[in-house]
Structure 1
Amino acid sequence: MLTSWKVRIMVFPARVDVHQHIVPPAWARALDDRGMDSGGWAIPAWSASEAIAMMDRQGIATGVLSVTSPGVHLGDDADARTLARTVNEYGAEMVKDRPDRFGSFASLPLPDVDGALREAEYALDVLGADGVVLMSNAHGRYLGDPDFEPLWAELDARGAVVFVHPAQPPMPLLPGTPAPLADYVFDTTRTALNLALTGVLSRHPNVKTILSHGGGFLPYAAYRFTGLTSTVVDPDRDADDMLRDLKRFYFDTALSASPSALPALLAFAEPGHVLYGSDWPFAPRNAGSYYDHFLETYPDFSPGQAEATDRGSAETLFPRLAR
Structure 2
Amino acid sequence: MPIDAPGYLDVHAHFVTDSYVRQARAAGHELPDGVPAWPSWSAEAHLELMDRCSIETSMLSISSPGIHFGDDTAARRLAREVNEDGADTVRAHPGRFGLFASLPLPDVDGALAEIAHAYDHLDADGVVLETNTHGTYLGNPDLEPVWAELDRRAAVVFLHPTSPVCWEQSALGRPRPMVEFIFDTARTVTDLLMSGTLDRYRNLTVIVPHCGGALPVLADRIDGFMKMFMPAGTEVPGAVEQLGRLYYDLAGPALPRQLPALLSLVGADRLLYGSDHCWTPAAGVEAHVAGLDAAAAPDGTGSWRALTTANAHRVLPRTAR
Q: Specify the alignment match of 2:189 in structure 1.
A: 192
Separation (CA, whole Å) in 1 of partners of 2:85 and 2:141: 31
Separation (CA, whole Å) in 2 of partners of 1:291 and 1:261: 13
Q: Does 1:180 align with 2:177?
A: yes
Q: Specify the alignment match of 1:314 in structure 2.
A: 312
Q: Does 1:62 align with 2:57?
A: yes
Q: Does 1:107 align with 2:102?
A: yes
> Is the CA contact (8 Å cut-off) linking 1:230 and 1:236 kept in structure 2?
no
Q: Does 1:292 align with 2:289?
A: yes
Separation (CA, whole Å) in 2 of partners of 1:60 and 1:105: 17
1:313 partner letter = N
> Is the CA contact (8 Å cut-off) linking 2:243 and 2:266 kept in structure 1?
no
Structure 1 residue 24: Cα displacement:
2.1
Q: Which of 243, 248, 260 is equivalent to 2:245?
A: 248
Separation (CA, whole Å) in 2 of partners of 1:153 and 1:101: 30
Q: TM-score, normalised by structure 2?
A: 0.93
> Is the CA contact (8 Å cut-off) linking 1:275 and 1:308 kept in structure 2?
no
| Runs of 5+ unmatched residues, structure 1 | none
1:59 partner letter = S
Q: Does 1:26 align with 2:22?
A: no
Q: Specify the alignment match of 1:229 in structure 2.
A: 226
> Is the CA contact (8 Å cut-off) linking 2:132 and 2:138 kept in structure 1?
yes
Separation (CA, whole Å) in 1 of partners of 2:157 and 2:32: 20
Cα deviation 1:95-143 (Å, max 9, x = unaligned): 0011211000000000000000000110011100000000000110100
Aligned-residue identity in percent: 43
Separation (CA, whole Å) in 1 of partners of 2:295 and 2:161: 27
Q: Does 1:277 align with 2:274?
A: yes
Q: Specify the alignment match of 2:92 in structure 1.
A: 97
SS of residue matched to 2:269: coil
Q: Which of 135, 154, 160 is equivalent to 1:165?
A: 160
Within 5 Å, give how 1:29-44 maps onto structure 2: 29-36=22-29, 37-41=31-35, 42-44=37-39
Structure 1 residue 209: Cα displacement:
0.7
Within 5 Å, give how 1:189-228 maps onto structure 2: 189-228=186-225
SS of residue matched to 2:148: helix
1:44 partner letter = P
CA distance change for structure 1 residues 135 and 309 in 2, over 3 Å: closer, same or farther? farther
Structure 1 residue 185: Cα displacement:
0.5
**Count of residue pairs brought into register by the alignment:** 316
Separation (CA, whole Å) in 2 of partners of 1:240 and 1:153: 20
The worse-fitting range, judged by mean Cα deviation, of 312-321 and 152-161 is 312-321
Cα deviation 1:51-86 (Å, max 9, x = unaligned): 001111111000000001111111100000000000
Q: Specify the alignment match of 2:8 in structure 1.
A: 15
RMSD, aligned CA: 1.9
SS of residue matched to 2:110: helix
Q: TM-score, normalised by structure 1?
A: 0.92
CA distance change for structure 1 residues 77 and 239 in 2, over 3 Å: closer, same or farther? closer
Structure 1 residue 236: Cα displacement:
6.0
Separation (CA, whole Å) in 2 of partners of 1:256 and 1:143: 26
